[in-house]
Amino acid sequence: MASSSTNSPCAACKFLRRKCQPECVFAPYFPPDQPQKFANVHKVFGASNVTKLLNELHPSQREDAVNSLAYEADMRLRDPVYGCVGVISLLQHQLRQLQIDLSCAKSELSKYQSLGILAATHQSLGINLLAGAADGTATAVRDHYHHHQFFPREQMFGGLDVPAGNNYDGGILAIGQITQFQQPRAAAGDDGRRTVDPS
């Protein structure tokens, strides 16, 4: 009797004004210092319903169950119309909006990625042209170099479309072109002489 009277009842038994038995199902989860927690749960779910619910669970699961019941009871008392279902509805709305935004962003990204593929194709073709030049023999390389020399001149002449053959028929223009052809060989010769001098 003495020991029994000295035991503090749990918040549930205190609220319900009854003796707190050693096997009380509420005691581990509703300590005396949290009376509001049980009051909320009791008001929304009812003590008998909570007892049944807890008895159906494995003891290791009861703490989580009590905490979720307390949360739902608190939300229900804050918002008597929607309770925690209002929170769920809000989250579902946010989720739907995010899915729309993500779909739009992925669509935009796919456009850039397809453009990237085209750009890569261009670069690849360019590299192939240069590689072809590199693979040729020395003579072929020189010819290739001569061929490229026509492009800058065409640009300087304002995109002149006259064929190369016609260029040789022109008097002054033809002389200039012939001189241009001889220039690389002369440069090469000069370079050779400089190389021989040190040795």
Binding positions for another protein, 10-39, rule CB under 8 A: none
User: Which residue in the set 34, 36, 141, 174 belongs to the binding site for another protein (CB under 8 A)?
Assistant: 141
* DSSP annotation of 20: -
Residues in the chain: 199
Residues 94-123 that bind another protein (CB under 8 A): 94-95, 98-99, 101-102, 105-106, 108-109, 112-113, 115-116, 119, 122
User: Which residue in the set 16, 133, 160, 173 belongs to the binding site for another protein (CB under 8 A)?
Assistant: 133
Of 9 and 37, nearer to another protein (C-beta) is 37
Question: Segment contacting another protein (CB under 8 A): 6-14, 17-25, 160-168, 188-196?
Answer: 188-196
Residues touching another protein, count (CB under 8 A)? 82
**Rounded to the nearest whole angstrom, what is the least distance from the CB of residue 114 to another protein in the complex?**
11
∠ at Cα 32 (26, 35), nearest 5°?
A: 85
Of 5 and 139, nearer to another protein (C-beta) is 139
Between CA 164 and CA 184 the distance in angstroms is 19
Residues 154-173 that bind another protein (CB under 8 A): 155-156
125 touches another protein by CB under 8 A: yes
Interacting residues of 164 by C-beta distance below 8 A, sequence separation 6+: 150
User: Which residue in the set 21, 49, 121, 166 belongs to the binding site for another protein (CB under 8 A)?
Assistant: 49
61 touches another protein by CB under 8 A: yes
User: Which residue in the set 126, 168, 170, 174 belongs to the binding site for another protein (CB under 8 A)?
Assistant: 126
- Contact present, 164 and 150 (Cβ < 8 Å): yes
- Contact present, 75 and 84 (Cβ < 8 Å): yes
**Rounded to the nearest whole angstrom, what is the least distance from the CB of residue 179 to another protein in the complex?**
4
Cα 192 from chain centroid?
59
78 touches another protein by CB under 8 A: no
**Rounded to the nearest whole angstrom, what is the least distance from the CB of residue 49 to another protein in the complex?**
5
What tokens appear for 104 in the block?
Answer: 């739009």
- Contact present, 175 and 189 (Cβ < 8 Å): no
CA neighbor of 44 nearest in space, from 66, 17, 19: 66
- Contact present, 168 and 174 (Cβ < 8 Å): yes
